[in-house]
Amino acid sequence: MQKLGEFKLPHFFNYPPYFTLQPVRDTREKQIQLWKELILDYCKTQKVFVIGLEEEFPLFTNTVIERSLTFEAREAFLLALVSEGRAEWMDKGHRKCLILWHRIQEWADILLQFAKDNGLEDGVVTIEEIRFGTESQGTELQGIDRTILNRALKLLEQKGKLVVFKGTSTDDEGIKFSV
Amino acid sequence: MTGNSLPPVKLTDSGRPVLLPNEIECFFLSGVDLLCEDEPNTWFPHLKSGLLILTTHRLLWIPEAAVATSTSASSVPLSSISHIFPHKKSLKSVFASPRVRFQVSPSPERGVATAGSRSVVVTVVVRGKGDCDAFVAKFWENWRARAWEESEKATSSSSNVAAVAGSSSSGIYSSDGTVRMVGVSGILRKEQEMWESTDKSLQDAFQDLNALMSKAKEMVMLAEKMRQKLLSGSNSQTNTTNDEEMGSKEEMQELLLSVGIISPVTKESAGALYHQQLSRQLADFVKVPLDRAGGIINLIDIYCLFNRARGTELISPDDLLQACSLWEKFDVPIVLRKFDSGVMVIQNKSHSDEEVFTKIKVLVMKPDALRSGISPSDAAMTLGVAPAMAKEHLLSAESKGILCRDVSPDGFRFYINLFSEIDRDDMHFFPCAIFAE
């Protein structure tokens, strides 16, 4: 099985037509679906949060069969993810895409679970600790993207589950849970 | 009921008359009755409402029914006409359909009537729209020109020549003892004379366009002579230039195919019937190139081939389109078809898309094709059609979901469509396994 880093690629990754945006509607729909699943899978396991349309992305090229996705194709697949709510454009020019293999709501739930697991229901913890602290080692929160984390925090703040307060620098921002 | 003792006219599958050698069509009139008003009449039939075609040799009458059966199409050889009555204009003729009268003398050796029949006066009643005066003028012209006598002379003289040629022996001495080859200067002189006469003939031809039409026959003969010369010339050379020989022979064949039509249907001679007759003529012409191209041919190619064959009196693309769309009304075995990509082709009615798709499927499931797909040229070889046509077939197969495409710097290729079969978790699907490393 071919691999991309540690990621096991599916066998149809070597099927050349997979890399050409299909014009026929039914075929294209199936192709888009396969790519969506593949992108989400890859990003989840490799902890990739952002895909830049104009940058090299290893998943979009297959050196063995010498094929890579055109700009049009990448845009089409990312657009499909966005309409499904599994990705968001970070800029107006649609150049950077935030991949949400977990939706924001799901991240929020994970945060709450994290708080419960670590006895932080009424406690205080910094952003830095959530992202890189010892408790978050091995969990999905490890290395979480700032933007996504902020969105999740905002969501929970609105629900009154926690309060965010600023410190002297951005990494010093703290959270007080009130679960 | 009076019998029909007129010589019949053979028709092609599309309802066009089969012409005699060197016979050229000159005028068309529709809605014409041919009858004989004399009493008693034992042999001239009453032919109602047909298409009348005036040619250099005959008057052809073809029934206008949608299905033309060759038994009822008849002809009156111009040679059997003894007199044409002048067209009298009277008050009565202003309101009635124009009529033309001529006298036909039966002559069994020409196939007209049986011996012992009387000569009769035949009336042509023109009920359809048509320029009767122009018709009468051309009728006189053709009857006076006596084109059938020239061809009789030609056939009898050519049979004489054949007899003489048969008796001569090969070698430099002919049967009567004279030396045939009279040296290089003799040959050169002969060549020179021939070119001078050709030159003069060309000059005469171009002075008068009408005369050009009759010279057209000579032009065709020249082309034939050139071809013979080329064939015999190349045979005497050594065999080192075999490829070139075949190339020029092919070329000559192409040229001849395109000069094959002596009698182009023109707007003048057919008037409002132009598109109908053009349509039928086109249907006849298309058969040969269509078979050579494997049953499907690009409309643009036919446009080029057909106009090359006509030589002068070229048809416009519009005329071609109109002529093709008229095929639906006639019972011809070919149709005009437009692909999704906009490409228009002519194909046999018997052509089946399903058959083509089956062939494509077989081709694309071969081990090589599973791995690297097929290109339009691969398909062209399998289907026996031009690459452009093969590409159209591949594109329709793609739109049916049978194939999918692969666009890369290597080119445009098609693979069997596996997308619908792919399931992320299914490792066992055979063709996919080919792509596993």
The pair of three-digit structure tokens given for residue B148, joined into one six-digit string: 């059938």
Please report residues of A whose CB lies closer than 8 A to that of B372.
16
Look up tokens 């075995």; give the residue. Answer: B333
Please report residues of B whose CB lies closer than 8 A to that of A31.
419
The band of B299, judged by pLDDT with boundaries at 50, 70 and 90, is very high
Please report residues of A whose CB lies closer than 8 A to that of B417.
17, 27
How many angstroms away from the CA of B381 is the closest CA of chain A?
23
Cβ separation A24–B398 shorter than 8 A: yes
Please, what sign has the CA dihedral across residues B260, B262, B263, B264? positive
| pLDDT at site B205 | 65
Q: What is the mean pLDDT of chain B?
A: 76
* Closest-CA residue of chain B to A1: B437
Contact A104, A98 (CB under 8 A): no
Cβ separation A22–B405 shorter than 8 A: yes
The pair of three-digit structure tokens given for residue A86, joined into one six-digit string: 């599994």
d(CA A70, CA A57): 12
Asked whether the predicted pLDDT for residue B170 surpasses 50, the reply is no
C-alpha separations of B104 from A149, B112, B242, B382 in Å: 107, 9, 58, 59
What average pLDDT does this structure show over A25-38?
91
In three-state form (DSSP H/G/I as H, E/B as E, the rest C), the secondary structure along chain B is: CCCCCCCECCECCCCCECCCCCCCEEEEEEEEEEEECCCCCCCCCCEEEEEEEEECCEEEEEECCCCCCCCCCEEEEHHHEEEECCCCCCHHHHHCCCEEEEEECCEHHHCECCCCCCCEEEEEEECCCCCHHHHHHHHHHHHHHCHHHHHHHHHHHHHHHHHHHHHCCCCCECCCCCECCCHHHHHHHHHHHHHHHHHHHHHHHHHCHHHHHHHHHHHHHHHHHHHHHHHHHHHHCCHHHHHHHHHHHHHHHHHHHHCCCCCCCCHHHHHHHHHHHHHHHHHHHHHHHHHHCCCEEEHHHHHHHHHHHHCCCCCCHHHHHHHHHHHHCCCCCEEEEECCCCCEEEEECCCCHHHHHHHHHHHHCCHHHHHHCECHHHHHHHHCCCHHHHHHHHHHHHHCCCEEEEEECCEEEEEECCHHHCCCCCCCCHHHHHCCC
What average pLDDT does this structure show over B220-226?
75
Query: pLDDT tens, B237-276?
Result: 444 445 555 565 555 555 554 555 444 455 555 544 677 8
Contact A99, A150 (CB under 8 A): no
d(CA A131, CA A174): 12
If one counts every other C-beta atom within 10 angstroms of the C-beta of residue B55, the result is: 21
Query: pLDDT tens, B337-360?
Result: 888 888 899 988 878 888 888 989
Please report residues of A whose CB lies closer than 8 A to that of B408.
16, 19-20, 66-67
| pLDDT at site A35 | 92
| Neighbouring residues of B27: CB distance < 8 A, sequence distance ≥ 6 | B53, B54, B134, B135, B138, B139, B269
| pLDDT at site B225 | 76
Contact A29, A84 (CB under 8 A): no
Report the percent of chain A where pLDDT is more than 90: 18
Lowest mean pLDDT among A133-137, B18-22, B167-171, B210-214: B167-171
Asked whether the predicted pLDDT for residue B1 surpasses 50, the reply is no
The pair of three-digit structure tokens given for residue B88, joined into one six-digit string: 């009298």
Letter string b/e over residues B368-397, b meaning 16 or more CB atoms within 10 A of that residue's CB: ebbeebbbbebbbebbebbebbbbbbbbbb
How many angstroms away from the CA of B372 is the closest CA of chain A?
8
What average pLDDT does this structure show over B19-40?
83
d(CA A90, CA A98): 6
Q: Which amino acid is at B256?
A: L
* Closest-CA residue of chain B to A24: B399
Cβ separation B405–A23 shorter than 8 A: yes
d(CA B418, CA B420): 6
From first CA to last CA, the distance across chain A in angstroms is 46
Report the percent of chain B where pLDDT is more than 70: 69
Please report residues of A whose CB lies closer than 8 A to that of B433.
11
Q: Would an 8 Å CB–CB cutoff place A17 in contact with chain B?
A: yes
* Closest-CA residue of chain B to A35: B424
Please, what are the domains in chain A? 3-99 (1.10.10.570), 104-177 (1.10.10.10)
Residue B419 is nearest to which of A2, A11, A30, comparing CB atoms? A30
Residue B260's φ and ψ, nearest 5 degrees, are -75, -20
CA B43 to chain CA mean position, Å: 34
Look up tokens 């005469």; give the residue. Answer: B204
Q: Residue A9 has what DSSP assignment?
A: P
CA B300 to chain CA mean position, Å: 17
How many angstroms away from the CA of A85 is the closest CA of chain B?
21
d(CA B73, CA B281): 17
Residue B437 is nearest to which of A2, A17, A24, comparing CB atoms? A2
| Neighbouring residues of A40: CB distance < 8 A, sequence distance ≥ 6 | A81, A86, A99, A101
What average pLDDT does this structure show over B85-104?
77
| pLDDT at site B227 | 64
Residue B432 is nearest to which of A11, A20, A31, comparing CB atoms? A11
What average pLDDT does this structure show over B98-106?
84
How many angstroms away from the CA of B389 is the closest CA of chain A?
20
Cβ separation A67–B405 shorter than 8 A: no
Residue A17 is nearest to which of B404, B424, B437, comparing CB atoms? B404
Cβ separation B435–A22 shorter than 8 A: no
Q: How many contacts does A have with B, using Cβ atoms within 8 A?
A: 72
| pLDDT at site B163 | 41
Lowest mean pLDDT among B46-50, B154-158, B316-320: B154-158
Cβ separation B405–A17 shorter than 8 A: yes
Q: Which of B374, B391, B406 should we substitute to test contact with A (largest number of A Cβ atoms within 10 Å)?
A: B406
Residue A15 is nearest to which of B401, B418, B437, comparing CB atoms? B418
Cβ separation B432–A66 shorter than 8 A: no
d(CA B352, CA B295): 10
**Helix, strand or coil for residue A97?**
strand
| pLDDT at site B109 | 63
The pair of three-digit structure tokens given for residue B147, joined into one six-digit string: 């084109």
Look up tokens 């050139």; give the residue. Answer: B226
Cβ separation A22–B424 shorter than 8 A: no
Q: Which residues of B touch A (CB under 8 A)?
A: 372-373, 398-399, 401, 404-408, 413, 415, 417-420, 422, 424, 427, 432-433, 435-437
For residue B260, which of B213, B290, B224 has the smallest C-alpha distance? B224
Q: Would an 8 Å CB–CB cutoff place A12 in contact with chain B?
A: yes
If one counts every other C-beta atom within 10 angstroms of the C-beta of residue B236, the result is: 6
Q: Would an 8 Å CB–CB cutoff place A26 in contact with chain B?
A: yes
The pair of three-digit structure tokens given for residue B171, joined into one six-digit string: 């070698």
